[in-house]
Structures are given as C-alpha cells and as structure tokens.
C-alpha cells in the first residue's frame, strides 16, 4: 500500500502576474525616467553669435552652390548641418555616399513594354522622389571621402546638374556634403578632380568657446544672410570687376590643375570655380560680410594661392586714385591699414614717375607730409627715397620736405639699429 497522499487531479493554474498594467503606463518605469533625462539633455537652444565659418556656410547655401565641409571625425559637421536645416526650416535628407552603389545616383534601369521604341528609363531612388515631392530641402551627402571612384563619378550629375536618373531636383533643394581627410577616413579616397571642382570647400574646425557654450545648452544660430536689395546691382558689378580685373592681368590663374593628387581633390582655379567665386563675392558684398568670410569662400573655390591674390587685388581696388590724391593733397584721405597706405603712397610715386612735373612732384611731397602726420613714419622711407631720385636740377626743394626729414631719419636709424642687433645676435655677442 502506498504511503504517499493521493494526487490532486485538478490542473494547476498558471501563475498570475502581480501587476498586469503595461510597463509604459507605470509611473515608476525606469525606461520612462531615462527617457525624461534624455529629453532634458536634448533640450538646447540657439542664440546669435558671430561665427565666420557658419556665416560662410549659410552664404554658400543662399548662393545655391554645393558645399563640402572638411573636418576631422567628431568635429561637429553633421550636428551643424542638422541645426542649419532646422533653423532654415528645410527638411534634411541624409545620404551616406560610401554605402551606395553608382546606380543609386545615376538611376536604376527599368525595362518597359517596348524598350526599342520607348527606351529604358532610369528610375530614381526613393530619397530623390521625396525631395521632388516636397519641393525643397537640404540634401546632405555624408562621408564623401570614403566613396569609391565609381560612386564619385555617378555623383557628378547630381552635384552639378541636380539630376538623379531621369529626375531633376527642384530649385529649392540645396546640396551640402561632408568629408574627413584621407588620413582620418575609414578606407578613404582622394576626391576626383571633376567632383572636387564642383564644390565650395570649407575647412570645418571647432571653437572651444562655441563647444563649451553648446554643451551648456546654447549653440550659435545659423541664419540666412540679410541681402541689401539696394546694393544688388552694385554687388554684381563689383564682383565682375574684381574677378575680371585679376584674371585680365593674371591669365595663368584662369585654369591651373594641381600636379599632386591631394591638391586635385581640393579647391583649384578653373572657369567653373571662378564663376562660383564671382557669385560668392556678389553675395558677400550684398550681405556686407567680413573679409574673413570672403576669404573662406574665395579660397574654398579657387584655392589658397589664387584666393589670396584675389583678395590682394580687391584691396587694390579700394585704393584711392593717385591722380585724385595729387590733385588735392591737403585734404586727401589715405587708407588706415598699413599695407594699403603703403600701396597708395607707392602708387602716387609711380604716377609722378610716369608723368613727371614740378607741380606733381611738389604735390607728392605734400601728400607724404600729410601721411607723416596721420600714420607711421616707417611707411614713408621707400616712397620718399624714390621720390627724391625723381628731382630735376631746376626743381627747388619744397618746404613740405622739411617735416619729413626727421621722421625718415629716425626710421632709417631704427632700421639700422635693428640690423645691427640681428647681426650681433647671430655673432653671439
């Protein structure tokens, strides 16, 4: 006989949970608390703050030119574009170029009923269709330097002609790309020269103050430039005069393909890039942008060397006419900046040399005397010395030269003392 108690044949009931309410509705849900903390961390704002590189970016976007931001990983390129799209109220479409095939940009062939008569249309990708449907947006091509050459070739029509397959992007779409230098890019490639020459290249760097303020909750605000409607014709005329004036005297700068592979993957001068530089100069002039912003934009289109020559040419355009200075030296207004003042005085001396005369020679000395009263005397040494060599035997020395004697002599003694000090340092004394 069994000594065990009889088994209860009633089936056991399944254990019931203590609280059957969904986790999302419980007030003490840990995931909800962490979500609230993440929301507080994302709660940031923007404030106006001078930022030359952000201003250069917005000017290029306003000018409807493709922009390529170069910067090390983690520098904030993607975050800047996300904030730019939000500020400008433009839908942001991000396309990672390196993970796409060439057909994703040139279009996928779709065979219809009768290809021999209707052809084979190239179907665009879904992101391009969405941009056309909305009619506006910011197309962000990320990781451009990791895209293989075949993908870069497929991007040529997209960047220049705004075409994806058989689809043309609407005018309201702006294109901005980002890339890491080849040394810090994962399996990076140099950009092909045709693709690189289609972009405005901006070097994206971090500002410690901006980062600190941003981590504190306040980032700089990106705004489209305020173009002065009354200055538009003047801005276009100035830009055309500046670009054509430089290329007229420096025709070698019209097209200069760099010899090195790295240089060809950046900004270099060509008729296309000079056209972009002209457009950006007009926009910067109409917006009253600073010289630093104009420098970023022009150097980002035609390269550092031609860009600096262009800026120097623009400075010379702002110089007063030497004939106007000689006509009324007593009330002449000379540039304040030292290098521009030196250039203006040299131009006056060159004008006297080209058309010498006693009255013009005396007027030049009067102008030098005025310059000695309003600026540094060391700027007068070279033009005064050159002007003195232009004197003819029958020309009397003007009284205005007496005020220059002391200043020029002091400057010369200072120069000689500086040379002696340098020689003594080199000799070890």
What integer pLDDT is reported at residue 7 of this predicted model? 40
What would the two tokens of residue 149 be? 């050459």
Decide: 155 and 141 in contact? Cβ < 8 Å: yes
What integer pLDDT is reported at residue 421 of this predicted model? 46
Torsion angle defined by CA atoms of residues 86, 87, 90 and 91, in that order, rounded to the nearest 10 degrees: 0
Q: pTM of the predicted model, to two decimals?
A: 0.72
What integer pLDDT is reported at residue 375 of this predicted model? 76
Closest CA to 315 of 330, 332, 295, 300: 295
Which run of H or E residues covers position 360? Answer: helix 358-374
- Give the Cα separation of 400 and 345 in Å (integer): 16
Write down the domain spans for the chain.
Answer: 48-107+122-209+216-220, 229-317, 322-427
Report, as ranges of residue numbers, the positions in the chain whose pLDDT lies below 70.
1-28, 111-120, 182-188, 400, 402-429
- Give the Cα separation of 319 and 335 in Å (integer): 7
Non-local (6+) Cβ contacts of 95 within 8 A are 127, 139, 140, 141, 142
What integer pLDDT is reported at residue 118 of this predicted model? 63
Closest CA to 345 of 360, 327, 328, 365: 365
16-50: string of b/e by CB count within 10 Å (b at 16+)?
eeeeeeeeeeeeeeeeeeeeeeeeeeeeeebeeee
DSSP E strand stretches across 88-231? 92-96, 108-109, 122-123, 136-142, 163-164, 167-168, 172-179, 200-203, 218-220
What integer pLDDT is reported at residue 2 of this predicted model? 42
What integer pLDDT is reported at residue 77 of this predicted model? 81
219-231: string of b/e by CB count within 10 Å (b at 16+)?
bbebeebebeeee
What integer pLDDT is reported at residue 417 of this predicted model? 41
What would the two tokens of residue 147 be? 């895209």
Q: Kind of pairing, strands 136-142 and 163-164? A: unpaired
CATH code given to domain 48-107+122-209+216-220: 3.40.50.300
Decide: 71 and 207 in contact? Cβ < 8 Å: no
What integer pLDDT is reported at residue 321 of this predicted model? 84
| SS3 category, 224 | coil
Which residue do the tokens 């009330």 mark?
331
């Amino acid at each position: 006989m069994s000594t065990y108690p009889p088994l209860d044949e009633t089936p056991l009931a399944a254990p019931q949970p203590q609280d059957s309410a969904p986790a999302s509705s419980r007030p003490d849900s840990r995931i909800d608390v962490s979500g609230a903390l993440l929301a507080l961390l994302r709660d940031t704002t923007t404030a106006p703050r001078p930022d030359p590189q952000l201003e250069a970016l917005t000017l290029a976007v306003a000018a409807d030119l493709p922009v390529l931001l170069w910067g090390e990983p983690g520098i904030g390129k993607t975050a800047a574009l996300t904030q730019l799209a939000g500020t400008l109220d433009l839908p942001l479409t991000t396309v990672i170029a390196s993970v796409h095939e060439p057909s994703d940009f040139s279009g996928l062939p779709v065979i219809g009923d009768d290809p021999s008569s209707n052809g084979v249309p190239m179907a665009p990708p879904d992101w391009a269709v969405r941009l056309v449907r909305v009619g506006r947006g910011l197309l962000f091509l990320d990781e451009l330097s990791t895209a293989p050459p075949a993908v870069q070739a497929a991007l040529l029509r997209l960047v220049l002609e705004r075409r994806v397959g058989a689809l043309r992007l609407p005018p309201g779409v702006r294109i901005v790309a980002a890339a890491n230098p080849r040394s810090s890019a994962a399996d990076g490639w140099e950009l092909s020269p045709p693709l690189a020459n289609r972009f405005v290249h901006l070097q994206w760097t971090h500002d410690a103050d901006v980062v600190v303020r941003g981590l504190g909750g306040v980032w700089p605000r990106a705004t489209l430039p305020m173009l002065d409607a009354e200055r538009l014709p003047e801005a276009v005329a100035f830009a055309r005069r500046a670009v054509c004036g430089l290329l007229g005297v420096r025709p070698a700068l019209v097209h200069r393909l760099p010899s090195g592979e790295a240089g060809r993957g950046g900004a270099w001068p060509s008729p296309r890039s000079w056209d972009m530089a002209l457009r950006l100069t007009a926009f910067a002039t109409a917006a009253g942008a600073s010289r630093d912003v104009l420098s970023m934009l022009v150097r980002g289109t035609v390269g550092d060397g031609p860009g600096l020559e262009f800026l120097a040419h623009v400075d010379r355009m702002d110089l007063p006419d030497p004939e106007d200075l000689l006509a009324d030296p007593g009330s002449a207004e000379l540039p304040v900046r030292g290098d521009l003042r030196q250039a203006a005085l040299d131009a006056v001396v060159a004008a006297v040399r080209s058309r010498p005369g006693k009255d013009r020679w005396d007027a030049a000395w009067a102008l030098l005397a005025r310059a000695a009263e309003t600026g540094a005397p060391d700027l007068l040494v070279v033009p005064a010395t050159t002007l003195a060599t232009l004197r003819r035997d029958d020309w009397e020395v003007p009284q205005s030269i007496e005020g220059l004697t002391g200043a020029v002599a002091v400057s010369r003694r200072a120069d000689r003392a500086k040379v002696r000090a340098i020689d003594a340092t080199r000799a070890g004394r």
